[in-house]
A and B are shown apart, each in its own frame.
Chain A
Amino acid sequence: MKEKEFRTASAARGGLLFMQNTPGVALGDRVRLQDYRGQIRNGQVIRSSDDLVLIQVFEGTDDLDLEHTWVRFLDQPFEVPLSPELLGRVFNGVGLPLDGRPPLISPLRRNVQGAPVNPAARAYPREFIQTGISTIDGLNSLVRGQKLPIFSGAGLPHNRLAAQIVRQASLPGEESNFAVVFAAMGVPHTDARFFQDDFEQSGVLTNVVMLMNLASDPPIERLILPRTALTVAEYLAFDLDLHVLVVLSDMTLYAEALREVAMAKGDVPTRKGYPGYLYSDLAEIYERAGRIRDKRGSVTLVPVVSMPSDDLTHPIPDLTGYITEGQIVLSRELHSQGIYPPVAVLPSLSRLMKDGIGADYTRDDHPRVASQLFAAYARALEVRNLAAIIGADELSGADRQYLEFTRAFEERFVRQGEDENRTLADTLAIAWEVLSVLPASALTRLREEDLAKYHRPAEISAPGAEP
Chain B
Amino acid sequence: MADAPRILEINGPIAVVHLPGARNGEQIRVGNAGLVGEIIELDGPQATAQIYESTEGLRPGEPVAALGHPLSVELGPGLLGSLFDGVQRPLAGMLRASGDRIARGLDLPILDRQKPWHFIPDADLQPGATLRGGERLGMVQETPSISHQILAPPDVAGQLLDLAPEGDYTLEQVIAHVRQGADGAMRRLSLYQRWPVRTPRPYQRRDHAVLPLLTGQRILDTFFPLLKGGKAAVPGPFGAGKTMLQQQIVRWCNAQIVIYVGCGERGNELVDVLETLPRLTDPHNGRPLMERTLMVANTSNMPVVAREASIYVGITMAEYFRDQGYDVVMVADSTSRWAEALREVSARLGQMPAEEGYPAYLASRLSAFYERAGRVRTLSGQFGSISLIGAVSPPGGDFSEPVTNHTKDAIQTFWALSKELADARHYPAVDWSESFSGQIGAAAQWWTENVDARWEGRRAEALALLSQAEELARIVNLVGVEALSSTQRWDLEGAALVREGVLQQSALDEVDSYCSPQKQFLLLNCMLDIVHSGADMLALGVPVQRLLKLPLLAQARRYKSQYANDQLQALQRDAAQALRAALDPLRSEYVAAQNPPAEPQPAP
Q: Is A386 an interface residue (CB 8 A)?
A: yes
Inter-chain contact B301/A116, CB cutoff 8 Å: yes
Q: Is A125 an interface residue (CB 8 A)?
A: yes
Q: Which residues 249-270 of A have a CB within 8 angstroms of B?
A: 267-270
Partner of A49, one of B8, B237, B274: B8
Q: Is B597 an interface residue (CB 8 A)?
A: no
Contacts of A379 in B (CB 8 A): 424
Q: Is B533 an interface residue (CB 8 A)?
A: no
Q: Which residue of A lies closest to B353 (CB)?
A: A268
Inter-chain contact B481/A399, CB cutoff 8 Å: yes
Least Cβ–Cβ distance between B147 and chain A, in angstroms: 27
Q: Is B599 an interface residue (CB 8 A)?
A: no
Partner of A27, one of B58, B262, B266, B557: B58
Partner of B299, one of A27, A119, A325: A119
Count chain B CB atoms within 10 A of each CB in A113, A398, A441 and give the residue with the most: A441
Q: Is A70 an interface residue (CB 8 A)?
A: no
Contacts of B59 in A (CB 8 A): 1, 24-27, 48
Docked CA distance A333–B546 (Å): 37
Inter-chain contact B551/A322, CB cutoff 8 Å: no
Contacts of B388 in A (CB 8 A): none
Q: Is B282 an interface residue (CB 8 A)?
A: no
Inter-chain contact A374/B397, CB cutoff 8 Å: no
Given contacts A116-B302, A117-B101, A313-B398, contact A279 B340 (CB under 8 A): yes
Q: Which residues 358-390 of A have a CB within 8 angstroms of B?
A: 367, 371, 374-375, 378-379, 382, 385-386, 389-390
Inter-chain contact B61/A23, CB cutoff 8 Å: yes
Count chain B CB atoms within 10 A of each CB in A49, A271, A447 and give the residue with the most: A49
Inter-chain contact B480/A395, CB cutoff 8 Å: yes
Q: Mark A308-331, 1 if CB is under 8 A from B, else 0.
A: 000001110011011101110000
Inter-chain contact A386/B476, CB cutoff 8 Å: yes
Q: Mark B91-104, 1 if CB is under 8 A from A, else 0.
A: 11011001111111
Partner of A119, one of B11, B267, B304, B343: B267
Contacts of A314 in B (CB 8 A): 396
Inter-chain contact A351/B480, CB cutoff 8 Å: no
Q: Which residues 228-273 of B have a CB within 8 angstroms of A?
A: 237-239, 262, 264, 266-268, 270-272
Inter-chain contact B91/A118, CB cutoff 8 Å: yes
Q: Is B155 an interface residue (CB 8 A)?
A: no
Given contacts A47-B10, A124-B275, A389-B478, contact A279 B337 (CB under 8 A): yes
Count chain A CB atoms within 10 A of each CB in B9, B56, B92 and give the residue with the most: B56
Docked CA distance A29–B55 (Å): 11
Q: Is B194 an interface residue (CB 8 A)?
A: no
Q: Is B357 an interface residue (CB 8 A)?
A: yes
Q: Is A290 an interface residue (CB 8 A)?
A: yes
Inter-chain contact B266/A323, CB cutoff 8 Å: yes
Docked CA distance A94–B274 (Å): 38
Contacts of B344 in A (CB 8 A): 276-277, 280
Docked CA distance A55–B395 (Å): 31
Inter-chain contact A287/B301, CB cutoff 8 Å: yes
Q: Is A430 an interface residue (CB 8 A)?
A: no
Given contacts A24-B60, A322-B393, A346-B423, contact A270 B356 (CB under 8 A): yes
Contacts of B479 in A (CB 8 A): 390
Given contacts A49-B16, A374-B425, contact A441 B551 (CB under 8 A): yes
Q: Which residue of B lies closest to A447 (CB)?
A: B558
Least Cβ–Cβ distance between A100 and chain B, in angstroms: 33
Docked CA distance A405–B181 (Å): 80
Q: List 8 A-B contacts (CB under 8 A).
A: A50-B60, A116-B299, A117-B267, A118-B99, A276-B347, A290-B268, A292-B100, A378-B423
Least Cβ–Cβ distance between A173 and chain B, in angstroms: 24
Q: Is B553 an interface residue (CB 8 A)?
A: yes
Inter-chain contact A280/B103, CB cutoff 8 Å: no
Q: Is A77 an interface residue (CB 8 A)?
A: yes
Inter-chain contact B92/A120, CB cutoff 8 Å: yes
Q: Is B83 an interface residue (CB 8 A)?
A: yes
Q: Which residue of B lies closest to A52 (CB)?
A: B9
Contacts of B54 in A (CB 8 A): 113, 115
Q: Is A208 an interface residue (CB 8 A)?
A: no
Inter-chain contact A318/B272, CB cutoff 8 Å: no
Contacts of B478 in A (CB 8 A): 389
Partner of B347, one of A111, A268, A279, A374: A268
Contacts of A238 in B (CB 8 A): 100
Q: Which residue of B lies closest to A444 (CB)?
A: B557
Instruction: Using CB atoms and an 8 Å cutoff, list the residues of chain B in contact with chain A.
Output: 8-12, 16, 54-61, 83, 91-92, 94-95, 98-104, 237-239, 262, 264, 266-268, 270-272, 274-275, 297, 299-304, 337, 340, 343-344, 347, 353, 356-357, 393, 395-398, 419, 423-426, 476-482, 500, 506, 508, 548-549, 551, 553-554, 557-558
Inter-chain contact A267/B347, CB cutoff 8 Å: yes
Partner of B357, one of A145, A270, A284, A443: A270
Contacts of A374 in B (CB 8 A): 423-425
Least Cβ–Cβ distance between B274 and chain A, in angstroms: 7
Q: Mark A91-131, 1 if CB is under 8 A from B, else 0.
A: 00000000000000000000101111111111111000000
Inter-chain contact B477/A120, CB cutoff 8 Å: no
Q: Which residue of A lies closest to B240 (CB)?
A: A349
Partner of B100, one of A23, A118, A447: A118
Contacts of A29 in B (CB 8 A): 57
Inter-chain contact B423/A268, CB cutoff 8 Å: no
A contact patch SS: mixed
Contacts of B100 in A (CB 8 A): 117-118, 121, 238, 292-293, 295
Given contacts A279-B337, A321-B239, A325-B268, contact A378 B425 (CB under 8 A): yes
Q: Is A283 an interface residue (CB 8 A)?
A: yes
Docked CA distance A121–B357 (Å): 35
Besides A124-B268, A375-B425, A386-B477, 5 other A-B contacts (C-beta < 8 A): A24-B61, A25-B59, A120-B83, A120-B94, A121-B101
Q: Which residue of B lies closest to A443 (CB)?
A: B554
Contacts of A267 in B (CB 8 A): 347
Least Cβ–Cβ distance between A10 and chain B, in angstroms: 16
Contacts of A396 in B (CB 8 A): 480-482
Contacts of B551 in A (CB 8 A): 441
Contacts of B239 in A (CB 8 A): 321, 326-327, 349, 351
Contacts of B500 in A (CB 8 A): 444
The 4 closest A-B pairs by CB, nearest first: A313-B396, A283-B300, A49-B9, A378-B424
Q: Is A347 an interface residue (CB 8 A)?
A: yes
Contacts of B275 in A (CB 8 A): 124
Q: Which residue of B lies closest to A265 (CB)?
A: B11
Q: Which residue of B lies closest to A78 (CB)?
A: B56
Least Cβ–Cβ distance between B527 and chain A, in angstroms: 13
Contacts of A315 in B (CB 8 A): 395-396
Given contacts A269-B357, A375-B424, contact A118 B11 (CB under 8 A): no
Inter-chain contact B554/A440, CB cutoff 8 Å: yes
Docked CA distance A49–B95 (Å): 33
Partner of B396, one of A288, A318, A398, A441: A318
Inter-chain contact A271/B395, CB cutoff 8 Å: yes
Contacts of B12 in A (CB 8 A): 47, 277
Inter-chain contact A290/B267, CB cutoff 8 Å: yes
Inter-chain contact B91/A119, CB cutoff 8 Å: yes
Q: Which residue of A lies closest to B558 (CB)?
A: A444
Q: Is A85 an interface residue (CB 8 A)?
A: no
Given contacts A49-B8, A268-B347, contact A280 B480 (CB under 8 A): no
Docked CA distance A268–B54 (Å): 21
Q: Is A341 an interface residue (CB 8 A)?
A: no
Partner of B57, one of A28, A284, A325, A382: A28
Least Cβ–Cβ distance between B94 and chain A, in angstroms: 6
Contacts of A145 in B (CB 8 A): 268
Docked CA distance A283–B337 (Å): 11
Q: Which residue of B lies closest to A387 (CB)?
A: B480
Docked CA distance A326–B425 (Å): 14
Docked CA distance A367–B337 (Å): 31
Contacts of A399 in B (CB 8 A): 481
Q: Is A354 an interface residue (CB 8 A)?
A: yes
Docked CA distance A23–B10 (Å): 12
